[in-house]
Structure 1
Amino acid sequence: MELTISQIKKKSLASLKGKWGMGVGLTLIVFLITTIVPTIVEVFLSGGFSVWIDQTEPPLIADMVNLLISFLFIPMTVASYWFYLVIARWNDPKISDVFAVYKEWELSLKLIGTSILVGIFTILWSLLLIIPGIIKGISYSQVFFLLRDNPQLSALEAITESKIRMKGYKWKYFLLNLSFIGWAFIAIFTFGIGFLWLTPYISTANATFYNELIAPQDNEDAETPDLEL
């Protein structure tokens, strides 16, 4: 019997027991890295702090460099998803594993390329209407979990596999994430500090969703003969 949204959330909270500290620590580390590094780059390429503090817009070169840096952050972000998948599977993750992904440069390039493809496909669908773009974004939501369990898949195969396996689950995935909106408002009222705890909760819930509903699907039913996007 499939888990309900409430059961998924309860199971994610149970798996987080004793691991909240690591989740909060990882959230803080990732936030600091993705915030401080681009700021340092912008200050440096603007000609120093005194110039940067007075400027209304950063120089074009700073925007270009930070765009490149944002691509380099993708493997870290994906490895963070995998960190919470380890928790959802009742194992003990290590924060260092999130950054160890960069030791495998081929994997890192694959994750960057996959993320770019997902972004392009989602944007193209969004050009038609916002709703189709959202639906496709949800369809592609399991791509990186699937790559974690099936590293032999190419980027296009993982995207198609996610789309196939999410049939019948898109609405539940949407409602699962929507159910956190109240907590998000509370986190905002705490000047964002609450997100240090909310992010691990949401991430573990999404990992539990994958582990309980998507991963167990029979491989024969999840074959991808056509790369339909």
Structure 2
Amino acid sequence: MKYASDFRAIARDALRGKWVIAVIVGLVAALLGAGSDGPRVKLNISDHGANLNVGVAGQTIYSTGGSPHSGIGAFLIGSAIYIVLLALVFAAVYFVLGSIIQVGYARFNLELVDRREPSFDALFAYFPCWKTMAAARLLQSLYVLLWSLLLIIPGIIAGYSYAMTEYILAEHPDLTASEAIDCSKQMMSGNRWRLFCMQFSFIGWNLLSALTLGIGSLWVRPYQQAATAAFYREISGTEQAVDTDPATE
């Protein structure tokens, strides 16, 4: 049985000579919604006027507003319903896109730890299966939310139970969303604490990343994701992976 240090060592070895593409793919995956909630649009209307804020990763990238008598303020107030509808449509599209990219990113990291040549195109390999990928992400979010309504701890446990869903779909896109989630639950039985310990072992790197205003995460995230892919290989018993193209199966 491997430990956190073993998975980190496998990740470092897999990333040797491949850091540049790993950082680029990780950044693109994050921007396209893999593992993130995407841009946030906030429209505030009060007696003093209206303000529109667009943020990404907790940072405001665009902000505008004005009093009810100003041109921009009057426009925001008059167009509020359209702005809300547009934001909802954009959020839905971004959610679906992120679902596809997240599975593609899992495939990229599996190729990495399998010592195959990782491809940037892996991110976009699962567009034909977009319904399954979106359904899997939606069901995971819903289940975690429902468990969290009971107490925080059950929600966290549920999140760890479903943690391998994207890797399973990356290799078996023919499964339904529910089947992939069930496979993840079975696979993670008895392994949730191991995954937690592995993720916790990166706390030092995450703290250093925070000191660099998040810039360090460009390197830490690929390191973590490669280690997680190695973890999946170990608990799924597929460390000797065959060279197949799961997207075309």
Shorter-chain TM-score bucket reads: 0.7 to 0.9
Deviation at 1:66, TM superposition (A): 2.8
The number of residue pairs the alignment matches comes to 203
Instruction: Spell out the pairing of 1:199-218 with structure 2 (5 A cutoff).
Output: 199-216=221-238
Stretches of structure 1 that go unaligned for 5 or more consecutive residues are 47-51, 218-229
Q: 1:81 is matched with which residue? A: 106
Cα distance in 2 between the residues matched to 1:29 and 1:148:
18
Q: 1:70 is matched with which residue? A: 94
CA gap 1:69/1:38 in 2 versus in 1, 3 angstroms: farther
**Aligned amino acid, residue 166 of structure 1:** M
Select between 13-22 and 141-150 the one with higher mean Cα deviation.
Answer: 141-150
Cα distance in 2 between the residues matched to 1:134 and 1:33:
25
Q: 2:213 is matched with which residue? A: 191
What fraction of aligned residue pairs are identical, expressed as a percent? 32
User: Which one has the bigger strand percentage?
Assistant: 2
TM-score by length of 2: 0.74
3-state DSSP class of the match of 1:53?
Answer: strand
Q: Please point out which of 57, 63, 76 is paired with 1:53.
A: 63
Cα distance in 2 between the residues matched to 1:175 and 1:10:
15
**Is residue 122–residue 136 contact of structure 1 (8 Å, CA) maintained in 2?**
yes
**Is residue 166–residue 214 contact of structure 1 (8 Å, CA) maintained in 2?**
no
1:16-72 deviation per Cα after TM superposition (whole angstroms, max 9, x unaligned) = 11111111111232344459x9589x9xxx7xxxxx632399842343133113222
The higher relative CO (CA closer than 8 Å, separation ≥ 6) is in 1
1:157 aligns with 2:179: yes
Q: 1:225 is matched with which residue? A: none
Larger Cα Rg: Structure 1 or Structure 2? 2
**Aligned amino acid, residue 24 of structure 2:** G
Select between 201-210 and 140-149 the one with higher mean Cα deviation.
Answer: 140-149
Name the Cα RMSD after superposition: 2.6
1:81-126 deviation per Cα after TM superposition (whole angstroms, max 9, x unaligned) = 2111110111111112212432x2xx11110011101111111111
3-state DSSP class of the match of 2:126?
Answer: helix
Q: 1:94 is matched with which residue? A: 119
Q: 1:143 is matched with which residue? A: 165
Q: Please point out which of 149, 152, 155 is paired with 1:130.
A: 152
